[in-house]
Structure 1
Amino acid sequence: MSVLKIKDVSKIFPNATRAVDSFSLEVADGELVCLLGPSGSGKSTLLRMVGGFETPSAGLMTIDGEDITRVPPERRPTGMVFQSHALWTHMNVFKNLAFGLKLRKVAPAEIKRRVEAVLELVGLGGYGNRHVTQLSGGQQQRVALARSLVLEPKILLLDEPFASLDQHLRERLREEVRDIQQRVGITTLFVTHGQDEALSMADRIVVMRDGKTEQIDRPDVVYREPRTPFVAGFIGTMNLLEGDVRNGMFSRGAYATPLPVSDGPAILAIRPEALDLSSAAGEGHGKVHRVTDFGTHGLVDLALGDGSRVKAMVDHPDMFRAGQAVTLSPRAIAAYRDGTLIHRTAAAGAATTVQQALVDA
């Protein structure tokens, strides 16, 4: 059993920058948790503190109840995979993997057994004598993963390991890494700024902003039930309309929809897949600006009367054309005020998957 606990951890750099602010998280045994956020949100700094490459300014970190807050990296039961692979190019694959085991004075026969076993695990059986310069980017990343796993760490740390790879290779590798993580059952903390990676790989997602937690939930909950306007706008494509509520009606320019909350300003959030369009005889709520056909669905870019833009996902993009007047009918909405969720209406029987909705994200 390997459980990582982070309690009220902060990191303040010498220039007074507060990179992480009183952050707490518990990662369960065998769980894969993703730290997701924009650049500067503190996710990589937090991961480096768990790995021992940065020292917290305050707080406590434990693995299976043992305090590791100020334990040096080489003495922690963690394995870290970096974005840049960080492989030794003057060594072949076998020596790259065996190096850490030799430092731990593992017997040569055991080194050979563990290296060969982990190469099979990552799909590189028989590659031990290859020099890393002879490998593709994807193969090098698998070697980097194998180098961490061969040390049999309790906690695996992944710092944007696919960022330097092309899209198709990223998609294939993230599936492979998730499969390996589940087979091994290793507790994993994963950093990315890619929404698709977080949604497809994680058991839970931690959305970070300015060193703090915005939301911690399962991927489907983060996507469908964002708690703050930031999460709503950061995960996937979201239409965010600022307007006013009067007598139970939200209005923004010519667009209005019922919203059963008290009077005052509000931000209305509508996913493109939850926004129905219909042709309008008059001016409608807005006009079609552009239609993009993705084959499986279409994305209609709309310009409302006040100049604001929204997107709608449609099954038949051929039914819409630039300049066409349309009316909007949301099937699911969320509303926020002062950064807090004040109302949510879920769509019944929505068929669009999260991955389909991310195509244009």
Structure 2
Amino acid sequence: MSKLSISNVSKLFSTTRAVDSFTLEVADGELVCLLGPSGSGKSTLLRMVGGFETPTSGSILIDGEEVIHLPPEKRPTGMVFQSHALWTHMNVFNNLAFGLKLRRLPARDIRDKVEAVLELVGLGGYGKRLTTQLSGGQQQRVALARSLVLEPKILLLDEPFASLDQHLRERLREEVRDIQQRLRITTLFVTHGQDEALALADRIVVMRDGKTEQAARPDLLYREPATPFVAGFIGSMNLVDGKISSSVFAHNGFTVPVPVADGVAILAVRPEALGIVPADGESAARIHRVTDFGTHAIIDIDLPDAVRLKSMVTDARQWQAGQRIALQPRAFAVYRDDAAIYRSA
């Protein structure tokens, strides 16, 4: 059983608070993604768990034992960096064997462990190759194998696929998820890619200014974002400022019945939930662009004040630029004071 407990951890760089009283429990075998924009503190937090940064305050426990005082090589963690950080003067086998040699394991045990983990990451028979002879995806597999061969209690992944092309990134993240589930290794994964987080995580922690904005399962995070920031950061979301009067939200001709008290508010509606219908005469909205992806189309819509919205439709052929339309949200949320006050059924 391997459990990670982060309690009230803060990190200050001079007068900048990179992480602010952050608390998180990662259960045994769970894969948690830290997701957020640049500067949100996610990589700094991961580096503190790995021992590459020292917290200004707080506690980091692995299986109930404090690890803040331990250097990286003494912690039961394995870290995979975006840059691979492989030794180019060593072949693949020696890259993996180096840490095991420091532990003074017998040569036969080292060989067996290295060969087993190379098979695990799909690189069986690659031990004698130099790392410079490998593709970017293969190098990242070696970096993952180098961490796994040490049998860490906690696996730390710091945007390991960011430098790879999209097709390879998607394939590798599926492989990493399969390996993680097979080993049942507790994993903390940093990414700024929302698709990556939604595809990989058991739970996503959205970070903002060093704090947790929301932590939830991917499906709940997508369907029930707690704040406008999360709503706009996870997936594609139309966010429209407006006012509610007499139970009607209004923004420059775009109106939606909403059974809440009067006042300023933000309406949030996903493109797939924003229906459109042709409209005659002067309408509040006009189609700016139609992008046909074959399986679906994205309609860019301009409101009279130049606010742009997106609608997802199944067939692009009945829509064209310049066409006037009316908007019919099928599902939406309303936010006020940075919190959800209403969600439609």
Bin for the TM-score computed over the shorter chain = over 0.9
What amino acid maps onto 2:316 in structure 1?
Answer: P
Distance 1:306 1:16 in 2: 40
Conserved? CA contact 1:290–1:301, under 8 Å: yes
3-state SS, counterpart of residue 318 of structure 1: coil
Q: Over residues 302-330 of structure 1, what are the superposed CA-to-partner deviations in whole Å (9 max), with x where a residue is unaligned?
A: 00122211000001111110110100111
2:60 maps to 1:61: yes
Q: TM-score, normalised by structure 1?
A: 0.95
Distance 2:270 2:236 in 1: 7
3-state SS, counterpart of residue 317 of structure 2: helix
* Deviation for aligned residue 1:271: 0.2
Q: TM-score, normalised by structure 2?
A: 0.99
2:26 maps to 1:27: yes
What amino acid maps onto 1:8 in structure 2?
Answer: N
2:12 maps to 1:12: yes
- Runs of 4 or more consecutive aligned structure 1 residues displaced over 4 Å after TM superposition: none
* Amino-acid identity (%): 71
Q: Over residues 270-324 of structure 1, what are the superposed CA-to-partner deviations in whole Å (9 max), with x where a residue is unaligned?
A: 0000011000012222000000001110000000122211000001111110110
What amino acid maps onto 1:3 in structure 2?
Answer: K
2:242 maps to 1:243: yes
How many pairs are equivalent? 345
3-state SS, counterpart of residue 137 of structure 2: helix
| Counterpart position of 1:2 | 2
Distance 2:333 2:26 in 1: 29
Distance 1:317 1:235 in 2: 25
| Counterpart position of 2:199 | 200
Distance 1:257 1:88 in 2: 59
Distance 2:181 2:69 in 1: 29
What amino acid maps onto 1:103 in structure 2?
Answer: L
Q: Structure 1 unaligned runs (5+)?
A: 347-361
Distance 1:283 1:190 in 2: 50
Conserved? CA contact 1:36–1:205, under 8 Å: yes
Distance 1:220 1:230 in 2: 17
Q: Over residues 315-350 of structure 1, what are the superposed CA-to-partner deviations in whole Å (9 max), with x where a residue is unaligned?
A: 11111101101001111111111111111114xxxx
3-state SS, counterpart of residue 142 of structure 2: helix
3-state SS, counterpart of residue 71 of structure 1: coil
Structure 1 segment 1-361 matched on structure 2, within 5 A: 1-13=1-13, 15-346=14-345
Q: Structure 2 unaligned runs (5+)?
A: none
| The 10-residue stretch of structure 1 (68-77 or 114-123) with the greater mean CA deviation from structure 2 | 68-77
Conserved? CA contact 1:249–1:260, under 8 Å: yes
* Deviation for aligned residue 1:48: 0.1
Conserved? CA contact 1:80–1:159, under 8 Å: yes
3-state SS, counterpart of residue 47 of structure 1: helix
